[in-house]
Amino acid sequence: MNKYDTFVNPLTERYACEEIQHIFSPQKKFSTWRKLWVALAEAEKELGLPITDEQIDEMKSNINNIDFEYAKEMEKKFRHDVMAHVLTFGKVAPKAMPIIHLGATSAYVGDNSDLIIMKEALLHIRKKMINLIYNLRNFALKYKDLPTLGFTHYQPAQLTTVGKRASLWLQDFMLDFDELEYVIENLRFRGVKGTTGTQASFMKLFENNSEKVKKLDEIVSKKMGFDKVLKITGQTYTRKQDTKVLSLLAKIAESAHKMATDVRLLQNLKEIEEPFEKTQIGSSAMAYKRNPMRSERVCALARHVITLSLNPYMTHATQWFERTLDDSANRRITIPESFMGVDAILNLLINITDGMVVYEKMIERHIKQELPFMATENIIMEAVKKGADRQEMHEIIRVHSMEAGKKVKLDGMENDLLERLINDKRIPLDENEIKSLLNPKDFIGRAPEQVVEFINEEVDPVIEKYRNELGVSVEIKV
């Protein structure tokens, strides 16, 4: 069988970048196990156990020297992945074999590695997010003054600006980014807790010296890059931590789905378009089509990530007492797929926002079709200022509005309300006076100022904080 004869996960084959795939690779996972075994041995030696520098050096020199085929044989034989890798490590570090995994339970390497890998993956997501935020910031500022139809219920509403609408997307991602920072800062290590979390095995090793056992937990956690450690665990860390992480990823996906849906709708209106490559084919049948395929893919992947976030809630809810193993198979799938799904989503959105096209003339055309209706109240007010009766003006304009609406909806004609009002001599305003009331920029309120204030006060400080993470290069494989 070749690789085309078996299933390949599309997340790795088509969507996620190599960096996030490496973070969840077997090499990364099992080399992290070995780093944890080294950290444990170093801490135990530091606290007085008879472990030699030679044993530790032997372990260190073989951290990445992993015989995966031998590990598979051992796991098949013993039906235990951790013991399989203890034996695989011991094969290349025979002097250290007697002290590898000393006092620990499987969750020591399994759970702590998951936390180390998730933290690294969160930092990777942070880098991608800050680049998306930067792109949206620039787009919002560029188009902060450009009036466009607002939509409520997907019906034309009061004007907004293209930049203000982009700020709505940006604000969603900023809220997600706030939570991302919180989760990174507060992800807690499991540490060195023993079989059921009581540290009994380590108490035995250190002859009931509680202070040494407590110190062991602190030393190992710091060696592995964690200042915050769970004080209490069962055999595993509380699976609520998985819920917190995957819930965050689902929120990023939620924001992405909303933005991508807006882009898809705007592309239908021919107002905004995602990048379309010179040789790209929109449809195998309809040669003229320019489908928003990147935005559609964002929505597809976002739904997958959102549904995956249900798993940790159910997994934690069904963990019995100190732990059950029905979390394992589920977590092997849902955690990596959630991260790879969000990585793919962010790659797509960075690509879209790098080259999003705005068709200003089409936006202007749509405004002209609707603005006369929106300006009717202003026209009434100006007519009253010139001595007209408010109720009479209201009725005249109402009738014209209904007739113009019929022309548009029933006859497929252009909106002729403006011409009707200019030509009605009962309205005491001339053509220039009426047209002066239809300047789109008079209908956008404080939208431009809102964009500038939001970016200056909330977005730019975050960008400045992470400026060294700007400039990622993303590749869309298909």
54-68 per-residue burial string, b: 16 or more CB within 10 A, e: under 16: ebbebbeebbeebee
The residues that are catalytic are 153, 283
| Architecture in CATH for domain 376-437 | Orthogonal Bundle (1.10)
pLDDT at 289 over 60: no
Q: What φ, ψ does residue 414 adopt, rounded to 5°?
A: -75, 160
Residue 437 is encoded by which pair of tokens?
């009331």
The architecture of the domain spanning 106-189+238-362+456-469 is Up-down Bundle (1.20)
Note the pLDDT tens digit of each residue in 310-354.
Answer: 999 999 999 999 999 999 999 999 999 999 999 999 999 999 999
**425 residue type, one letter:** K
Class of the 3-99 domain? mainly alpha
Q: How confident is the model at residue 277 (pLDDT cuts 50, 70, 90)?
A: low
The tens digit of pLDDT for each residue in 190-201 reads 999 999 999 999
Per-residue pLDDT tens digits for 2-26: 778 889 899 999 999 999 999 999 9
Say which residues have a Cβ less than 8 Å from residue 207's Cβ, sequence separation at least 6: none
Q: CB–CB of 338/249 below 8 Å?
A: yes
* H or E stretch covering 349: helix 328-354
- CATH 1.10.275.10 range(s) for the chain read 3-99
Q: What is the mean pLDDT of the chain?
A: 94
Residue with tokens 């998951």: 114
Q: What pLDDT sits at residue 414?
A: 86
Q: Where in the chain is the domain with CATH 1.20.200.10?
A: 106-189+238-362+456-469
- Cβ–Cβ under 8 Å, residues 173 and 132: yes
User: In Å, how far from its chain's centre is CA 180?
Assistant: 9
DSSP character for 25? S
Q: What's the pTM value of the predicted model, to 2 decimals?
A: 0.93
Tens digits of residue pLDDT in 390-446: 999 999 999 998 998 898 889 888 889 889 999 999 999 999 998 899 999 999 999
Q: Which two tokens stand for residue 186?
A: 């507060």
Express each pLDDT in 342-379 by its tens digit.
Answer: 999 999 999 999 999 999 999 999 999 889 888 888 89
